[in-house]
Copies of this chain bind each other. A is one copy, B any other.
Amino acid sequence: MTLDMRILDTQNAGFETELDNLLAWEAVSDNQVQHTVLDILHHVKTQGDAAVIEYTNKFDRLTAKAMTELEIGQEQLQAALDGLPDDQRVALQEAAARVRRYHEKQKQDSWKYTEDDGTMLGQQVRPMDRVGIYVPGGKAAYPSSVLMNALPAHVAGVDEIIMVVPTPDGEVNQLVLAAAAVAGVTRCFTIGGAQAVAALAYGTETIPKVDKIVGPGNIFVATAKRFVFGEVGIDMIAGPSEILVVCDGKTDPDWIAMDLFSQAEHDEDAQSILLSWDQDYIDAVKASIEKLLPTMERADIIRASLSERGALIKVKDQADAVKIANRIAPEHLELSVEDPEAMAQEIRHAGAIFMGRYTAEALGDYCAGPNHVLPTSGTARFSSPLGVYDFQKRSSLIMCSADGASELGKVASVLARGEYLTAHARSAEYRIKD
């Protein structure tokens, strides 16, 4: 079965339209899904544990009678870690240590300054009290995602990290539990879907209400998160994963083919794109793809992803590549070029930038240190990797001296009266000295 991959050229007429079509992605959340999710939210909000148990038994084919059966204790998490083969346990701990070290640098501190008249201004930074981590179950249960979601919250100083992970048919993923132990998860419930999001957002008799819910999930989970936004904070709504590789033609084409595969193997909707100004190199990567594809365990998924959503794009030169990269604002951007530092300077929009021939995107997924939860579908134009800053929040600090309040009061009074807000004006005027 041959692979029919898009080959584009930025210099061809119609390229802009082809690119728009290539990138087009609409997260579908139809009316039926919305109504189902609204029902689930309502039932969990009003009936608490009973509704959570009922939905969990129904959707995950379980027979739980009480919430206690749907909680996994600390000793079980620890036992899962202790029970891992040595290489896995060491790799998990090594990855966690590196992720923790990188995220420590993201911690933001309170600051303040005092003006000449004694007025103090500043910002006080505090962690959230309690957050919820959604971890998908089944085949998409990734222990690395547990680390990437829980560790930033831990580093931020969040007191309680509540993890939910569905166990369809009772199947528990030991690596996921082990990761929860390594990442310092406080409590863990084996629930999922919109019912888990509802339980975290509203709280039940057993499950504590959280301040923010993060983590990826299917369309029901994403829709539920969108609906509870405002009641609690949420992270971004993730689309399919994508990689954009820029190569100057001097990296082993097998390496680049495998980098493209590593994105494509996630699922059929994942997107892998290569940009190069070297036509011979594009041909070489195409040959590597065709050579290596039959050797891949997930060949069918990779083939579907590359055929439907992949592309090899010939650009004019490095500047043209930068332009296209900024236009795409990719989740993962691999700069497999001679001087990646100079090129990275030109990049305005990307979730993560993997620089140089040695930096495979896969290293960032697991253990380099930076977070693997990244903005997808061009949302890097306005959003950032998940980080410690997502679990901290700020309060403005204002302490006026008597002199400061008097001077500021005059300005505030004029502006408040311009807005016809006279209580504002009079409140300020009380503090003006005679």
Q: Which residues of A contact B (CB under 8 A)?
A: 27, 87-88, 91-92, 94-95, 102, 105-106, 111, 113, 119-121, 123-124, 126, 128-129, 139, 142-144, 175, 211-212, 226, 229-230, 232-233, 236-237, 252, 254-255, 258-259, 261-262, 264-266, 296-298, 302, 333, 340-341, 344, 347-356, 358-371, 374-375, 377, 379-385, 387, 389, 393-402, 404-405, 408-412, 414-416, 418-428, 430-431
Contacts and interface: CB of A to CB of B under 8 A. Distances in A.
Contact of A111 (B105, B374, B431): B105
Contacts of A369: 121, 398
B382 A370 contact: no
Given A383-B233, A394-B385, A427-B262, A415 B360 contact: no
Contacts of A254: 430
Given A105-B111, A382-B128, A404 B358 contact: yes
A202 to B, nearest CB: 13
Ordered nearest first, which 10 A-B pairs have the shortest CB separation?
Answer: A233-B382, A358-B405, A370-B396, A355-B399, A352-B396, A261-B423, A91-B414, A384-B394, A362-B424, A366-B412
Contact of A121 (B255, B259, B261, B368): B368
Contacts of A302: 423
B382 A232 contact: yes
A362 B412 contact: yes
Nearest to A113: B105
A360 B409 contact: yes
Contact of A360 (B233, B379, B421, B431): B431
A128 B381 CA distance: 6
Centre residue among A128, A232, A264, A419 by max chain B CB count within 10 A: A419
A424 B265 contact: yes
Given A296-B423, A421-B262, A426-B258, A415 B356 contact: no
B344 A95 contact: no
A384 B380 contact: no
- If over half of A's interface residues share one DSSP class (helix, strand or loop), that class is named, otherwise mixed; here it is mixed
Contacts of A351: 395-396
Given A344-B397, A349-B126, A360-B430, A264 B88 contact: no
A318 to B, nearest CB: 17
Contact of A129 (B233, B354, B368, B381): B381
Given A368-B398, A397-B355, A421 B265 contact: yes
A165 to B, nearest CB: 14
Given A143-B415, A347-B395, A380-B393, A363 B405 contact: yes
A402 B252 CA distance: 14
A86 to B, nearest CB: 10
Nearest to A239: B230
Given A126-B348, A358-B431, A367-B408, A296 B422 contact: yes
Contacts of A296: 422-423
A141 B123 CA distance: 28
Given A262-B427, A363-B398, 11 more contacts: A27-B230, A95-B415, A105-B123, A124-B347, A211-B381, A353-B396, A365-B424, A366-B411, A370-B396, A374-B396, A385-B394
